[in-house]
């Protein structure tokens, strides 16, 4: 999917010593980061998200635990994947409807290309489908 895909970041280290994973432009970060936020203390199987962004680009990491993510782009293409390692980030660009199912010990970290702006959200799935119909 053009606007949502997994990026693998290089890890340095070993099972004995631990791993260091750096996230910067030369290791695959696709945009300038203007905001970082975390989501913590979610209950098992709690589902959040249920929106798309008009312009925002994000890179989503499960820095601990597991999060299952569903993505649907404006053409109707879909995928689901599981994030369970900070070595992988899910790039989620504009116009991707997404939901995230959290497992109880998950810690989500999101790098975002812009400041928080509620007007950038499409929170109505019907509005998202209308956009698809008008492509
Ligand atoms: P939201 O993006 O809807 O979270 P989720 O998709 O995980 O359900 O945001 C939840 C609330 O937090 C909403 O009231 C907006 C607020 N918020 C901020 O104030 N700043 C931020 O950077 C973000 C992402 C959300």
Q: Which residues contact 125 (CB under 8 A, 6 or more apart)?
A: 50, 97
Residue 82 CA to residue 62 CA, distance in Å, equals 9
pLDDT at 9: 97
The model scores a pTM over 0.85: yes
> Which residue has the CA at smallest separation from atom 9 of ligand 1?
49
* Ligand 1 probe mutation, 49, 53, 125, most atoms within 8 A of CB: 49
pLDDT one-digit tens code per residue, 6-57? 999 999 999 999 999 999 999 999 999 999 999 999 999 999 999 999 999 9
Rg (CA), the chain: 15
- Residues touching ligand 1 (Cβ under 6 Å) are 35, 37, 39, 48-49, 51, 116
Give Cα 48 to chain centroid, integer Å.
Answer: 12
Which atom number of ligand 1 is nearest to the Cα of residue 115? 22
Tokens (6 digits) for 44: 């098992």
């Amino acid at each position: 999917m053009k606007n949502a895909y997994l990026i693998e970041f290089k890890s340095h280290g070993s099972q004995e010593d631990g791993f260091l994973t750096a996230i910067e432009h030369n290791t695959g970060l696709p945009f300038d980061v203007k905001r970082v936020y975390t989501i913590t203390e979610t209950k098992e199987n709690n589902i959040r998200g249920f929106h798309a962004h008009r312009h925002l680009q994000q890179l989503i990491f499960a820095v601990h635990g597991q999060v299952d993510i569903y993505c649907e782009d404006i053409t109707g293409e879909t995928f689901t994947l599981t994030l369970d390692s900070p070595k992988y980030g899910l790039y989620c660009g504009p116009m991707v409807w997404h939901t995230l199912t959290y497992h109880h010990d998950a810690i989500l970290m999101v790098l975002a290309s812009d400041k928080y702006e509620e007007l950038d959200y499409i929170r109505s799935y019907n509005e998202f489908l209308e956009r698809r119909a008008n492509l």
